[in-house]
Chain A
């Protein structure tokens, strides 16, 4: 099982958890399992075509999967996946 860190804006969709566990051989498999377990996240993570939404950054450990193999990037048990949408709050 890999650990997936959930950003604040998606936590309501996973029952408030800050991280969830999911298994899969690739980043895409793991995220699809997250979406299966927590269907409210699906449209936030994936486009209708099944691609990762452009506004969602995904990191395998500390590396952006865009510079690895994207959703095809292989995942090991001990890896952490970070989901990161942009935030713009300045405390106004």
Chain B
């Protein structure tokens, strides 16, 4: 019977080993052929320190998780561990059993890397309670510790704590968004409770910002809630919005949506926008200067008779839940950088037919707002659109 040492020695003969210097040089030259660096050690070892940019797939989970982290089997991959044994075994598995074509193990592991004086990343740590609370995020490669830290550092502003804002507030709080701002000057009404799940029977008559704060802290006491119990207008939108990373638009009227668009373009803050009516929802992301803005999509609002509100026309109570959570997913993607956002696309959800229709949204080269330098947009232009006076008169 061969000893463990013999097995490791034999496996090392069957795989490619690379020196830390080669890994360092390849990852520094930045010409696009840099390998993916995978740390196969245990969680606590990875958190202590790791190679810059390394992704973490513990050897015990290699077979089940490596495809999620490295989907292209021809992509060059360098594995490392503490001293080069576990990574050699993992490289052998990837090469022989999983069909990866270009796998190497870094000789001497992170110990030799550090001895050579190369830099390591020392991640900020979560508390024990946070590690437990966010454990299902930490397991997802697209979020992981790095993504969770971004969420904890993030500042998200919810415009409205109503139908769309309620589910967004609850799930973004649960996800660990560090600061949630809420703008709403309304109080909880019995007729809200058919869909506005952040509020409750006991809190009828309570300002929505206070009610939402209670609900947020019930699910995650660590979230810092910033309450803005005001009506959003031209006089306060810049001051309130500044400093937030993402804005979630659950507004219920056109003039404020145009105002928000213009402020967000000036401040260069992405807006995750949704609107709902009856059984239908629309969703998009307006990412200033990276994609179209709200005015590129809708240069002019419809006349009042074609723009009924949910208050006037009704809405399926579950629909804002669906749309508010689709918004929340976009928020998390914007913060963590995972996946592709809805910027440049508009999603139409028809709940009656259960159909999802996706439309392209282009930047308008002649857009009155986002075709210009943000500093050139003046206060007087904000929220103004053709026929504004007539629209507002018509809307009563």
Name A residues whose Cβ lies closer than 8 Å to a Cβ of B: 5, 7-10, 18, 44, 54-57, 59, 62-64, 67, 82, 84-92
Contact = CB atoms under 8 A, between A and B. Distances in A.
B311 interface: yes
A82 B315 contact: no
Given A9-B308, A88-B251, A92-B309, A55 B277 contact: no
B358 A88 contact: no
Contact of A54 (B253, B274, B386): B386
A70 to B, nearest CB: 14
A43 to B, nearest CB: 10
A65 B38 CA distance: 47
B195 interface: yes
B353 A87 contact: no
B116 interface: no
B362 interface: yes
The 9 closest A-B pairs by CB, nearest first: A91-B163, A91-B320, A90-B252, A90-B250, A86-B298, A87-B275, A92-B252, A55-B302, A89-B310
B147 interface: no
Contacts of B359: 59, 62-64, 82, 84
Given A44-B306, A91-B162, A92-B310, 7 more contacts: A55-B300, A82-B359, A85-B307, A88-B252, A90-B159, A90-B162, A91-B276
A59 B362 CA distance: 12
B93 to A, nearest CB: 43
Interface of B: 159-160, 162-165, 186, 195-196, 249-254, 257, 274-280, 282, 297-303, 306-311, 313, 315, 319-320, 324, 346, 348, 350, 352-353, 357-362, 386
B298 A57 contact: yes
Nearest to B195: A91
A30 B278 CA distance: 26
Pick from A55, A86, A91 the residue with the most CB of B within 10 Å.
Answer: A91
B360 A63 contact: yes
A10 B307 CA distance: 11
A50 B254 CA distance: 26
Contacts of A54: 299-300, 386
Given A18-B353, A55-B298, A63-B360, A86 B307 contact: yes
Contact of B302 (A18, A67, A82, A86): A86
A9 B89 CA distance: 63
Nearest to A87: B275
A62 B358 contact: yes
Contacts of B186: 92
23 contacts: A8-B280, A9-B306, A9-B307, A18-B352, A55-B302, A55-B306, A62-B357, A67-B362, A86-B254, A86-B298, A87-B280, A88-B251, A88-B252, A88-B275, A88-B309, A90-B249, A90-B250, A90-B252, A90-B276, A91-B320, A92-B160, A92-B186, A92-B310
A67 B362 CA distance: 8
Contacts of A64: 359-362
Contacts of B299: 54-55
Contacts of A10: 306
Given A9-B307, A64-B360, A89 B277 contact: yes
